[in-house]
A and B are shown apart, each in its own frame.
Chain A
Amino acid sequence: MSDDNGNLLSVRDLRVYFETEDGSVRAVDGISFDVKRGETLGIVGESGSGKSVANLSLMRLIPEPPGKIASGSISFDGRDVLRLSPSEIRALRGKRIAMIFQDPMTSLNPFMRVSKQLMEVTQLHLGHTKRQARAHAIAMLEHVGIPDAAERVDSYPHEFSGGMRQRVIIAMALSCQPELLIADEPTTALDVTIQAQILELIKQLKSETGASVILITHDLGVIAGMTDHVIVMYAGRVFEQAPTRELFERPGNPYTRGLLRSVPDPTEDEGTLYQIPGQPPDLAHLPPGCPFASRCERAEEVCQKEFPPFVQLTPSHQSLCHFANEVYAETGATR
């Protein structure tokens, strides 16, 4: 099964646009990345950089209209997701690719018992009878650490706390043992202590099933602790991608450096939290040059005029910057 040198997922030059009154919003504007089997890929970037849109398109869940996958290819296990028929794509969703969303408070149907919401997945994909599905649902809830699962399975979502709901959602996502799990900021809506538990749970389940994971987050600490490989997104583009350690130790892009600097460091003086100045650009009216230029400390004239090249720093490390090599050299020297 492992074609494409062990890649489960290969995205090439994906573009997703939203037609709005303000013009065409280029939410995702030509991104490429791979996810190997068993690997965890982290995606970071500021709000609005296209992380969610990119991942929703992997399951073809972009609302159309206004959205539209304008071009590109998404190859999952060797098949182009964009060419699948509606019933073929539905057979993938929830079975081979599953998703965990950001807000557990709104992601479950408030009018339906948790048991039913869990059961419908395996009844659909695994052909479970009601009884099998119910047993499976209880087992899944136990597995994700919900106490008294057999009794609580018939509760409604509002009877669970936020952390418990996210466990329910994880149980739901994992109930057919998907090969790819997409977790879109799975912990942003939760308390810090719960965050750690949920991440630990994802890690544990991943190691049990050997699934690949795409983990989207704002939190570079989470990226460091959970992922093998990272892509940094900005304005619908991949600005940098590298193995996780390499990215933290030797970033080759000013934007990544800015993100890393804005992580609070407990050993430094307090009160001097760094923030990248300015705002991300309007994705409907992108400037001709580098979309980060107006906020970049390192920007020169060429950055405003010409779109930057995607520079290959090492075989597994690329950066979208006119001065990628220089930045890479600098970060290497200060090590």
Chain B
Amino acid sequence: MLRFIIRRVIVIVPMLFIIVSLTWVLVRLAPGNFYSGEKKLAPAVEKNLREKYGLDKPWYVQYGKVLKNIGRFDFGNSLKYEGQSVNQILLRGLPVSATLGITAYLIALLVGIIMGTLAALKPNSWLDYASMTLAMLGISIPNFVLGPLLVLLFSLTLFWFPPALWNGFPSKSLVLPALTLSAIYIAYIARLTRSGMLEVMGSDYIRTARAKGLSERQVVTRHALRGGLLPVVSFSGPALAFLITGTVVVERVFALPGLGNYFINACFNRDEPLIIGIVAFIAISVLVFNLLVDISYAFIDPRIRY
């Protein structure tokens, strides 16, 4: 087990290297610069700027500096937000994104698993069709459409929730963004749960459990859920990572000061250190959460040994 973890942690390094390198190349390939605004800069000013930020050095020097920074978990200073380090910005955005993400995640797990289980227990019933239709909707409506729709209905028509505001957790301002964000995850989890549970409910050991005289509720809670939710477990790790590290669109729609919003601004501003910092941070989170899922598998399924 320990060897497995060490191996997996070591693999994170080359993965991170590839992701960061690709990001760096993409940022460099994109036309424009962080100082290229509407008005043209005087050549002398431009030269000064380039020197100040090391842009006059050969590419391998600049690239090497990026890698070195990441090795020290210090992503340098933002080019746009002057005097602020990328790490400060990450620390400022993360709590917002994480609060939103974890709330959405818990909603998605709770609602998704309940919907999926109910659907699986009565396959082809109206309950099944209703939940799967909802899930289909959740998957096919993009959240940049769903968000404004919810705002229109609950904020601007019913005045139940504020349209764009951030009051942290718990607050009314969290409801609409979290709901918008969780919709697609509810849908995925409901479908995963349904298919996982359907498969398990037809398996031999469930028949054995019934043959023992257990009630249907006992059969489901004691015997079926564990195996039926395995697919959800493998999905839940990456999902959590994505949810808390930057929910780009939803933060934009609801104007929340989270990582996703900073990321979009950084892209518009060609703020290279900030872009790379956020990407590296998200990549590390995803890789680590994947590892956590694989480890948790060993606890859920006793047959798995690393």
**A: which residues have CB within 8 A of B?**
59, 61, 63, 87, 90-95, 98-99, 101, 103, 106-112, 120-121, 124-125, 156, 158, 169, 172
Contact = CB atoms under 8 A, between A and B. Distances in A.
A107 B208 contact: yes
A101 B207 CA distance: 9
B215 interface: yes
Given A103-B204, A106-B204, A111 B212 contact: no
Contacts of A63: 202
A120 B210 CA distance: 12
Give the 6 A-B residue pairs with the shortest CB-CB distance, closest first. A93-B213, A94-B213, A94-B212, A106-B204, A156-B302, A109-B205
A101 B204 contact: yes
B303 A158 contact: yes
A99 B211 contact: yes
B226 interface: yes
Nearest to A108: B205
12 contacts: A61-B210, A61-B211, A94-B211, A106-B204, A107-B205, A107-B207, A109-B205, A111-B301, A121-B213, A124-B212, A124-B214, A158-B302
Contacts of B204: 101, 103, 106-107
Interface of B: 202-205, 207-215, 222-223, 226-227, 300-303
Contact of B301 (A92, A101, A106, A110): A110
Nearest to A95: B213
B211 A109 contact: no
A93 B207 contact: no
Contact of B208 (A101, A111, A158): A101
B299 to A, nearest CB: 11
Contacts, number: 70
B207 A61 contact: yes
Given A90-B214, A94-B211, 5 more contacts: A94-B213, A101-B207, A107-B207, A112-B226, A156-B303
Given A156-B302, A158-B303, A110 B212 contact: no
User: Per DSSP, are chain A's interface residues mostly helix, strand or loop, or mixed?
Assistant: mixed
B213 A91 contact: yes
A109 B208 contact: yes
A220 B127 CA distance: 48
A93 B212 contact: yes
Contacts of B213: 90-95, 121, 124-125
A287 B222 CA distance: 45
Contact of A93 (B210, B226, B303): B210
Contacts of A101: 204, 207-208, 211
A59 B213 CA distance: 10
Contact of A111 (B214, B215, B227): B227
Given A111-B302, A112-B223, A98 B211 contact: yes
Contacts of A120: 212, 214, 222
Contacts of A61: 207, 210-211
A110 B303 contact: yes
B226 A59 contact: no
A124 B300 CA distance: 25
A219 B227 CA distance: 34
B208 A121 contact: no
A213 to B, nearest CB: 16
